[in-house]
Chain A
Amino acid sequence: MVVFEKPKALADVQMHYCPGCTHGIVHRLVAEVIDELGIEGKTIGIAPVGCSVMAYNYFNCDMIEAAHGRAPAVATGVKRSDPENHIVFTYQGDGDLASIGMAETVHSAARNENITVIFINNAIYGMTGGQMAPTSLPGQVTQTSPYGRDTDACGFPIRVCEMLSTLDGPEYLERVTVNNVKNVKNAKKAIKKAFQNQIDGKGFSLVEVVSSCPTNWGMTPQDALKWIDEKMLPYYPLGVYKDRSAEKEEK
C-alpha cells in the first residue's frame, strides 16, 4: 500500500535544488494544495528569476517564466485575461519580490489583484551565489557584505508582510516557516487559504515563507533550520498580518 505519494500537480522530474534547501518543501505544499482544491487544469504559475527560476519545469499546470521581479505584473495580465477561469500564482524569492520587483509587489497588493503570491524569504540571493538580499539580517555575512551587513552603509532589512499590511488593498498576508513538522503544517494551511481566497474572489493573498539556504549560509541543513529559529524569526515574527475577511467577521 502506498502511504506517501507525490502530489499530482508536482512534475515527476529531478529538481536542481541543493540538499537541505526548503524550496522542495514549499513546492510540495503548493502542489498538494492545487491537488486538494482540484484546480490544476485552470492554474497558471509564474516563475521568478532566482533559485526557483526553473519552477516552470516542476509544476504540471501551465507555467510562465517572468523577468526578474515582474511576476506580479505578468500575473496581473494572466488573471485579467480571463478572471473567471484562471487561477494564478507567483512563486518568488526575496531578491525578486522585495528588491527589483518591489514596485510590482506593492502595486499589485494595493490593487488587491486577485492572485496568490508565494514569497520565499531566505535572506540571501541563492542563484547568484550568496549576495546580500533586501531581507539579509543586520550583521549577516554574505558575498557582498563580507564584513557583515552594515546598516549604516546599506540600510535595514525590509519586513514585507508588515509593510504591505499598512495598505488598504491586500486581502491576506501571513508569514510562516517550514523548519519543523508543526510549522510545515501551518504553512500548508496558509498556502491553502491563499489559493482559496482567490477562488472566492477575495483578492491579493501573500504567504511569506521564512526559508533556509544551507549552501549560501555556510551551514549544515540542520544548523540552517536552527538558525531560522534563533536569528530569522526574532526579526521576522510569524503570524497573520492581514486577513480582511476575518476582520470583517469580527466586526
Chain B
Amino acid sequence: MSDKVLMKGNEAIAEAAIIAGCRHYFGYPITPQTEVAAYMAKRMPKIGGTFLQAESEIAAINMVYGVASTGKRVMTSSSSPGISLKGEGLSYLAGADLPSLVINVQRGGPGLGGIQPSQSDYFQATKGAAHGDFHMLVLAPSSVQEMADLTVKGFDLADKYRMTAMVLADGTMGQMMEPVSLDYEIGEPIEKPWATTGTKMERPHNIVNSLFLEPDVLEKSNFERYERYSYIEENECMYEEYMMDDAEICVTAFGIAARVSKNAINEARKKGIKVGLIRPITLWPFPKAPYKKAADKVKEIISVELSMGQMIEDVRLASECKVPVTLCNRVGGMIPTPEQVLEAIEKAAKGGNK
C-alpha cells in the first residue's frame, strides 16, 4: 500500500485525473472548485499537458468536445451556475457519443445562489442536464479518497461507454482535507477508431456529429443509445449499505449528507434503534436493488438531502411506494446536523415522520 497524503478534495480530483492519463484540462474560475483549475495550472505545464483558462464555461466544454473528438482523456470542472452554462455542450457530447469527465462541486441555488455546499443539482445531473434524451454517468463521492477514486473510475466508464461521466461533489467535499492514497493501476487506453485525428490517407474520413435530419435515423440513434443505458443500469450500479442487515428504519443519503447520517445512525444504535444507511455511489444509474429489498422490511425510509427533496423521487420509485419515504433536509448552503437526522430517526422509531 502506498503512503497516504493529506489533500483537499478538489486537489485529489486534479491529481487523480493526471494519474488516469488526462493531459487536457479546460476551466473557468468559480467558487468552490477553483482549486482544481489552480492545481492543473501548476501541474500540466510540467508534464507536457494543456491547462487553458477558457473565456467562459461554454467555451471550456466545447474545448473538451474538441479534445474528446480526438480520443484523448479530457476534463473540465465547475460549480452549479457554471454547469448550467455547460449544458449545451453536455447535450452535444451525448449526441456525438463522446467520452469526457466533468466535475460539479455543487453550491446552493437557484440563480447565483451562494457559495456554500449543496446537492440541489441532483435533478440536473441525473435527469436533465440539457435538451434531448440523454444521461450522464453520475458518481457521488462522500470522502476525499472517493473524490480521487471516482475520478479515475469516471474516466474508465466514460471511455467504455462513450459518455460523459460527472463527479457530483459538493462544496464540503471540495474544500475538506483528508488523507488519500493515490495508488492506481491504470490500464492501457482503449482503442477509439471513431476519433478524428486525421485520416493519414489510410481510411475514409471520420465524422463527429450529432445532427441527423432524417427522423427515422435520429430515432434509431436514440434507441441504440438507450440500449447502452439499459446495459449500464444492469451492470454499473454502485452503492454502500451500512448496518442494513437488521434495520427497521432506513436512512438514505449521498455525499456529505451520508457522512452526517452515519454519525446519526451510530448515535441511534447506541439508543437501541435498529437503523441503517443506503448510500448510492452512482446516482445515474440509480441503484434500485437495495431499496427494493429494504422496502420489504423497514417501516420508513428517510432521505437526507441538501436540497428540497430531489433524490427522494428516485427512492420512492425504487421502493415502489411500499413504505413511507420522508425528507430530512437543509438547503441554501446549510448542512443537516447529526442531531437533526437523529431526531428524524427517533420520530420514525416512535411512529413515523409526517
Contact = CB atoms under 8 A, between A and B. Distances in A.
B205 A104 contact: no
Contacts of A81: 24, 66-67, 70, 72, 197
Contact of A42 (B24, B26, B67, B198): B198
Interface in B203-224: 205-211
Contact of B63 (A61, A62, A77): A77
Interface in B1-41: 24, 26
Nearest to A54: B211
Contacts of B190: none
B142 interface: no
Contact of A76 (B66, B196, B197): B66
Contacts of B211: 53-54, 65
Residue from the set B52, B56, B70 with the largest chain A CB neighbour count within 10 Å: B70
B50 interface: yes
Interface string B51-66: 0101110111011111
B201 interface: yes
A82 B66 CA distance: 11
A98 interface: no
Contacts, number: 134
Residue from the set B198, B202, B207, B208 with the largest chain A CB neighbour count within 10 Å: B198
A56 B207 CA distance: 7
A87 B197 CA distance: 10
Interface residues of B, number: 39
B62 A64 contact: no
A159 interface: no
B66 A75 contact: yes
Residue from the set A67, A77, A104 with the largest chain B CB neighbour count within 10 Å: A77
A8 to B, nearest CB: 10
Contacts of A73: 54, 58-60, 62-63, 65-66
A67 B26 contact: no
A67 B92 contact: yes
A70 interface: yes
Interface string A32-74: 0000000011111010000001101101111111110010011
Interface in A99-116: 103-104, 106-107
A76 B63 contact: yes
B66 A107 contact: no
B198 A41 contact: yes
A107 B71 CA distance: 25
Q: Is the interface of A mostly helix, strand, loop or mixed?
A: helix
B62 A63 contact: no
Contacts of B206: 62-63
Contact of B62 (A41, A59, A70, A86): A70
Interface band, chain A: 35 or more
A107 B58 CA distance: 12
A74 B65 contact: yes
Nearest to A46: B66
A185 interface: no
A63 B63 contact: no
A60 B200 CA distance: 11
Nearest to B196: A62
A77 B207 contact: no
A88 B49 CA distance: 19
A220 interface: no
Nearest to A59: B205
A43 to B, nearest CB: 7
A80 interface: yes
Contacts of A79: 66
Contacts of B64: 77
Contacts of A44: 69-70, 196-198
Contacts of A66: 62, 65, 92
B167 to A, nearest CB: 20
B199 A62 contact: yes
Nearest to B26: A77
A89 to B, nearest CB: 12
B88 interface: yes
Contacts of B200: 41-42
Contacts of B199: 40-41, 60-62
A186 interface: no
A78 interface: yes
A65 B67 contact: no
30 contacts: A40-B199, A41-B201, A41-B202, A42-B200, A44-B196, A62-B197, A62-B199, A62-B206, A64-B208, A64-B209, A67-B92, A70-B59, A73-B54, A73-B58, A73-B59, A76-B63, A76-B66, A77-B26, A77-B62, A77-B63, A77-B64, A77-B74, A78-B70, A79-B66, A81-B197, A82-B70, A82-B197, A86-B70, A103-B55, A103-B58
Given A59-B205, A63-B208, A67-B89, 5 more contacts: A65-B211, A77-B70, A80-B52, A86-B70, A107-B59
Chain A to chain B: the 10 pairs with minimum beta-carbon distance, closest first: A77-B66, A73-B62, A62-B196, A107-B55, A70-B62, A77-B63, A65-B209, A74-B66, A41-B201, A81-B70
